[in-house]
Amino acid sequence: EESPDSASPKPGEGPAASSSKVVEESKPYGINCLVEIFAFLTSLVSIEDVTDSEESCIYGLSMIRVALEAGLADFSLFPELMNVIRDDLMSNMMRIALIPNLAILSMVCSIAFLLYTHLRSFLRLQFEAFVTNVLLRISDGEYVSYEQQEIALESLVAFSRHPTFMVDLYANLDCSIDRGNVFEAVCNLLSKNTFPSNSQLASTHLLSLEGLLAIFNNLLERSKQQVEFKPKEFKDPSESSDAVWLPPPTSDFVSWAEQMKYKKYLKRRIDVGVDHFNRDPKKGFQFLQSINLLPQELTPESVARFLYTARGLSKNVVGELLGDPKEFYLKVLDYFVTLFDFKGMSFDHAIRRYLESFFLPGEAQKIGRILEAFSKRYYAQCPGIFANADAAYVLSYSLLMLHTDQHNDQVKKKMTVEEFIRNNRKINDGEDLPEEMLVDLYKSIATYEIRIQADGNKFDLSHAQWVDIVKRSGTPQGILVSCTMQPVFDYDMFALIWGPTIASISVVFDQAEDESIVQYTIDGFLSVAHLASVLHFCDAIDNLVISLCKFITSLTPKASESDAFIEDSKAMLALVTMFCIVNQYGDCVRNGWRSVIDCILKLHRLHLLPNKVTDMEEVRNTLRHSNSRSMNFNKNANLQTTILQSVSSFFSSDSAKEEEVKSPEMEEAEKRITTYIESCHIEEIFTESKFLEAESLKHLVSALIWSAGETPKGIANSEEEEERALLCLDLLISTTIKNRDRFHLLWSDTFNHLKSIIDSATLLSPLVEKGVFGLLRICQRLVPYKEDVADELLRSLSLILKLDAKVADILAAQLFAELLHLVKGSPDRIQTEFCWRTFSAILRVGAHHLEASPAGFEILEIFVHGAEIKEENLVPLLDAVQAFIEGHAGGEDQSMKAMDQLMNVVSKVKAWPASDKLFGYWVKAVNVAKQACTDSRPQVRNHACVMLQQILLSSYSMGHTGEQWGDVMKNVVLATVNTLVTHVKKRKQQEYPDMDKTARIAVLMLSKAFLQFLPSLADLECFSDIWLELLSILDLCNSCSSEELSEAVPEALKNMILVMATEGILHPGWTDSKNINLWNVTWQRARSTSPNLEPGMLKQYTG
């Protein structure tokens, strides 16, 4: 829209104002001539009416471009020339760029690029206006031709390629509290333009993508400086200060850059406050006060500064507050108007600039107060025009009424200029204002409506706003601080651009049919991934991976495994690209691991997953019957090279898609697919996971567990779910083993997953089997290597005990073979009582299993011989030994060998220091042998009696007290012999064959034990009871009618009597506490045993 001529702004002060005077004085054609010529050329670049031709405009643009190319940066030496560029040239260029002439638009864009390249430091606000109101407006494509949009996008791409243009926009505009987010708007527009509306790619879509990737390439170039990127965490101000709203000094670039980054943080916080303010001003103020952007006690100055500076405020709300009659808001209005600089501005421009900053409220009194404040300010800053402020007030009100009259459609009879002049007579302190001034005001108001930029309108720029821009260009606010190649703002810029860029690349990749375009998008994916890894932007890598995976997981299985990829070649390209990114930048992958695992599972369902993934060494043979699919692959491939080759290969094989019969081309395509998948090195994700960052590794493990799905008690709902769970479990086990140095990071999740599979499993399934042996495989690999984790790992074996008996029975043979392998590799790692009890419980189960028993017994032997017998493991070991003694699975030989192991245990226990506790443990071992003496198998019983005798006789030196030996005699020796003799008496020959032979051995054991313990027993009060019980048992033996016993008992009794007589224990006066003569009782029982046993045999001892 055409605008009224502006008053020429005052010349700005340049860096070489004094030198320009020297040039002017020393040469006949000085700066004034140059300014006049350049101003004339600029005047050609304007189409004010129909008499101005587009040809002259093009001519003027051509000459201006020549002049700029000749002068380059030297224009900045002359403030007069810069004033022409800042105002007339930029203003005219912005207006003519919007006319539908492609040549003019192209030349305007090229001149703007020249101006940025050489004079950008002086054109900060002008370039904000040009980018926003020309490039973005035309590139948006609304209300312009396709060709215009294409030229504007080409210009944006050219600007984007410039190393500093985008970072200059971001640092100088997006980070400024009072300026718009121009860089963000450019990126969003380019991203939006890449999405085809009719599903066909056009040049505008590709240009937009090119612009986005050009920005990325500049960021990538700066990232090569090896700067460590650590985003600073900003905090809200500790106290309110006006400095928040003011630009920082530009003398030191590093300091300025840091402050601008902080301004960007505050800008985001202010935007939140603005959102609250537009809905409820009170809540908006409260929020800004809570973060110290406004003082805790609001002041008129702080509120006015906020209303003047903050962008995005509702102009209706601002107008209502400024017109509020409360005393506080009256002061706000007074301070608000002082923030405007009306110096040198015409009354028309000043009131337009003022009224365009808010919507006038509807009440006349409010309008009056607002106009009165303006009038006072204008009168104070522009003396000589009005006699007093009242005159300015009356005229401003009159102009407002004229504006309503001229631009309200309901007013049929419009005010004439004469009427306007008549209405304003004698208002200047009784004098008339100049008629020429009133006529100009009338024409301006009647012709050009005061347009208030509506909330959210991003393209409208009024002439009053342009005058304000030109005016501020000569101040520090107009200076653009050009950013160097230091990547100071790159992290923040990347945070804004990566999302739209990835979405744009994805849509173009999806729609592209041309090979070069597809390759361009893949290069874009890799560039974004590289930069994201340099900046350690994990969200971007995740988004990239997820975007690429969407092209893969949508595939459906075909009759042939490769058909799915042949029909969708882009899925193959996406697959290779995705795995290239994951393998190179896996440290930055977080939630993206879930999509990666989904792709691996997809390949598995299509039977295309390489054998190197499904048959990793760490999980090999964890199923008793392997049905893994084997494939042969080439081991050497470069991912980047493969991607480059894959594009042309797939596009050259399109003809094969149409053939129903598998042709040589189809077979060749299948071979390429196999090669490409193998070149992805999928297995390295897991085999090389030990090099991943801890956070990435944790997410990988979580993704495997999540992808496995829920399988309560190890039962999947379908075969497909089971295959998925099995593969995920394999990969989880392999990853855990590979990361043995970071065991504690992963074990909790891994163990809980294994527990969910194994715990309470009632049916055997491949998943349960894999879980059990996977757990054992982890223990086998990590227990010997990591002493500090051995206990925690071995504790986990308690899960095996929770298996259902039927399931455990099926797995027992292989389970004990794996346990034997574990124990052989680390016999000294079992330390705690819990672990010993766990192993003992497992061994007790194996002792009764025919196939598992040999391996179980070998484990027991390793424990007995290799382990140090301590309090923590004695009882568990004894329990295990007893189980193998009693178990029939290993035969009689194994049971007898188990008793030998019992003897070995006792031998080690005997070395312990004497104590009551030691006696208790020793008795437990003795009781194991005692229990074995009643075994149903003759050889086992007999061997047990011999072992019990050896244990008793060899242990006498342990230092037990007489009372303790008395207990052993009664509760072990006598009880054992009595039980055996009772079985003989009851003739339980079928149940206990050859029991009389065992009883004979027991009687001999009784005799030897009694004689061994006699010195300790003789002084006991209960000795007489022990002796009487012994005699009763021997009487019982005589009543059994057993040849074995009839031979053994007399001899045993004779030996005991002789020794007792020799020791002086047995004599005629021997009585017990009840005055029973034990001498008489002994001989009475002896005679019943054998007639040869008479007191006379002792004459030589008794006299």
Question: Contact 941/933 with Cβ under 8 angstroms?
Answer: yes
The pairs formed by 151-155 with CB atoms below 8 angstroms and a separation of 24 or more are 151/102, 151/105, 151/106, 151/109, 152/105, 152/109, 153/190, 153/193, 153/204, 153/207, 153/208, 153/211, 154/109, 154/207, 155/109, 155/110, 155/112, 155/113
What's the pLDDT tens digit per position in 287-317?
A: 999 999 999 999 999 999 999 999 999 999 9
Residue-by-residue DSSP string for 898-939: HHHHHHHHHHHHTTSPP-HHHHHHHHHHHHHHHHHTT-SSHH
Q: How confident is the model at residue 7, as a pLDDT?
A: 35
Residue 31 maps to a domain: yes
Q: Does residue 75 sit in the same domain as residue 100?
A: yes
The amino acid at 1053: L
Range of lowest pLDDT (259-273, 445-459, 705-719): 445-459
Q: Torsion-angle region of residue 122: left (phi > 0), alpha (psi -120 to 50) or beta?
A: alpha
Residue 93: closest CA among 65, 118, 121: 65
Alpha-helical (H) ranges within 410-489 are: 417-423, 435-447, 463-473
In Å, what is the CA distance from 275 to each residue of 299, 772, 895?
21, 58, 84
Q: How confident is the model at residue 845, as a pLDDT?
A: 93
In Å, what is the CA distance from 850 to each residue of 207, 215, 823, 856?
76, 72, 20, 10
Q: How confident is the model at residue 709, as a pLDDT?
A: 87
Is the pLDDT confidence value at 350 over 60? yes
Report the distance separating Cα 371 and Cα 348, nearest Å. 13
Q: How confident is the model at residue 624, as a pLDDT?
A: 52
What's the pLDDT tens digit per position in 98-134?
A: 999 999 999 999 999 999 999 999 999 999 999 999 9
In Å, what is the CA distance from 373 to each residue of 393, 408, 980?
9, 26, 121
Is the pLDDT confidence value at 225 over 90? no
Residue 1025 maps to a domain: no
Confidence of residue 2 (pLDDT cuts 50, 70, 90): very low
Global pTM reads: 0.80
Residue 431 pairs in a beta bridge with 428
Q: What is the average pLDDT value for the chain, to the nearest integer?
A: 86
Residue 159: closest CA among 180, 191, 136, 142: 136
SS (H, E, C) 491-516: HHHHHHHHHHHHHHHHHHHHHCCCHH
Report the distance separating Cα 217 and Cα 823, nearest Å. 58
Residue 34 maps to a domain: yes
Question: Contact 356/450 with Cβ under 8 angstroms?
Answer: yes
The amino acid at 470: V
Residue 392: closest CA among 406, 379, 373: 379
Residue 333: closest CA among 300, 361, 359: 300
Report the distance separating Cα 720 and Cα 69, nearest Å. 69
Is the pLDDT confidence value at 16 over 80? no
Report the distance separating Cα 539 and Cα 543, nearest Å. 6
Question: Contact 422/380 with Cβ under 8 angstroms?
Answer: no
Give the three-class secondary structure for 1085: helix
Report the distance separating Cα 1001 and Cα 200, nearest Å. 101
Q: Does residue 101 sit in the same domain as residue 130?
A: no
Q: Does residue 210 sit in the same domain as residue 103?
A: no
Report the distance separating Cα 498 and Cα 309, nearest Å. 29
Residue 971 maps to a domain: no
Question: Contact 132/94 with Cβ under 8 angstroms?
Answer: no
Q: How confident is the model at residue 674, as a pLDDT?
A: 83
Domain boundary among 85, 117, 149: 117
Q: Does residue 596 sit in the same domain as residue 692?
A: yes
User: What b/e sequence results for 796-805 when a residue is b if at least 16 CB atoms lie within 10 Å of its CB, and e otherwise?
Assistant: bbbbbeebee
Q: Does residue 604 sit in the same domain as residue 748?
A: no
Residue 68 maps to a domain: yes
Q: How confident is the model at residue 540, as a pLDDT?
A: 95
Q: Quick one: tokens of 676?
A: 């490409």
Confidence of residue 556 (pLDDT cuts 50, 70, 90): low
Residues across the chain: 1103
DSSP state of 1093: -
Is the pLDDT confidence value at 223 over 70? yes
What's the pLDDT tens digit per position in 783-806?
A: 988 888 889 999 999 999 988 888
Question: Contact 508/209 with Cβ under 8 angstroms?
Answer: yes
DSSP state of 973: I
Q: Does residue 691 sit in the same domain as residue 778?
A: no
Q: How confident is the model at residue 650, as a pLDDT?
A: 45
Q: Does residue 168 sit in the same domain as residue 70?
A: no
Q: Does residue 500 sit in the same domain as residue 588?
A: no
Residue 428 pairs in a beta bridge with 431
Give the three-class secondary structure for 1103: coil
Residue 789: closest CA among 842, 828, 741, 729: 741
Residue 98 maps to a domain: yes
Q: How confident is the model at residue 475, as a pLDDT?
A: 86
First to last CA, the chain: 151
Q: Quick one: tokens of 1048?
A: 């053994």
Is the pLDDT confidence value at 435 over 60? yes
Q: Does residue 590 sit in the same domain as residue 499?
A: no
Residue 3 maps to a domain: no
Confidence of residue 564 (pLDDT cuts 50, 70, 90): low
Residue 1063: closest CA among 1006, 1032, 1017, 1008: 1017
The mean pLDDT value for 241-262 works out to 88
What's the pLDDT tens digit per position in 895-949?
A: 999 999 999 999 988 888 878 788 888 999 999 999 999 998 999 999 999 999 9
Alpha-helical (H) ranges within 933-1077 are: 938-954, 962-968, 975-985, 995-1017, 1023-1038, 1043-1062
The mean pLDDT value for 1059-1075 works out to 85
Is the pLDDT confidence value at 639 over 60? no
Is the pLDDT confidence value at 662 over 80? no
Q: Does residue 588 sit in the same domain as residue 682?
A: yes
Could you confirm whether 818 is annotated as catalytic? no
- Which residue did the predictor score with more confidence, 572 or 197? 572
Q: Quick one: tokens of 496?
A: 């804004």
What's the pLDDT tens digit per position in 497-514?
A: 999 999 999 999 999 888
Is the pLDDT confidence value at 282 over 60? yes
Residue 38: closest CA among 108, 88, 76, 73: 88
Report the distance separating Cα 466 and Cα 126, nearest Å. 9
The mean pLDDT value for 474-490 works out to 87
Range of lowest pLDDT (403-417, 613-627, 1052-1066): 613-627
The catalytic position among 363, 418, 787, 1047 is: 363
SS (H, E, C) 149-207: HHHHHHHHHHHHHCCCHHHHHHHHHHCCCCCCCHHHHHHHHHHHHCCCCCCCCCHHHHH
Range of lowest pLDDT (317-321, 461-465, 1081-1085): 461-465
Is the pLDDT confidence value at 10 over 50? no
Report the distance separating Cα 603 and Cα 40, nearest Å. 71
Report the distance separating Cα 77 and Cα 73, nearest Å. 8
Report the distance separating Cα 85 and Cα 1092, nearest Å. 144
Q: How confident is the model at residue 362, as a pLDDT?
A: 86
Q: How confident is the model at residue 919, as a pLDDT?
A: 87
Q: Quick one: tokens of 44?
A: 């050609």
Domain boundary among 117, 149, 164: 117
Confidence of residue 1074 (pLDDT cuts 50, 70, 90): confident
Report the distance separating Cα 721 and Cα 704, nearest Å. 13
Q: How confident is the model at residue 628, as a pLDDT?
A: 36
Residue 1077 pairs in a beta bridge with 1071
Residue 1071 pairs in a beta bridge with 1077
Handedness of CA 1002, 1004, 1009, 1011 (dihedral sign): positive
The mean pLDDT value for 60-72 works out to 92
CB neighbours of residue 1074 within 10 Å: 6
Residue 815: closest CA among 774, 762, 781: 774
- Which residue did the predictor score with more confidence, 572 or 18? 572
Q: How confident is the model at residue 705, as a pLDDT?
A: 94
Report the distance separating Cα 752 and Cα 814, nearest Å. 23
Confidence of residue 996 (pLDDT cuts 50, 70, 90): confident
Residue 552: closest CA among 565, 566, 562: 565
DSSP state of 1071: B
The mean pLDDT value for 1053-1075 works out to 86
Question: Contact 755/799 with Cβ under 8 angstroms?
Answer: yes
Any idea which residue has 């007579």 for tokens? 425
- Which residue did the predictor score with more confidence, 957 or 931? 931
Q: Does residue 556 sit in the same domain as residue 697?
A: yes
DSSP state of 431: B
Residue 138: closest CA among 109, 159, 162: 109
Residue 223: closest CA among 490, 429, 561, 469: 490
**How many domains, the chain?**
4
CB neighbours of residue 8 within 10 Å: 12
Residue 85 maps to a domain: yes
Domain boundary among 747, 774, 803: 803
| Residue numbers of the domain that contains 204 | 123-229+487-520
Q: Quick one: tokens of 478?
A: 């107009």
Q: Does residue 189 sit in the same domain as residue 85?
A: no
What's the pLDDT tens digit per position in 724-742?
A: 999 999 999 999 999 999 9
The number of CA neighbours under 13 Å toward the Cβ of 920 is 5
CB neighbours of residue 585 within 10 Å: 22
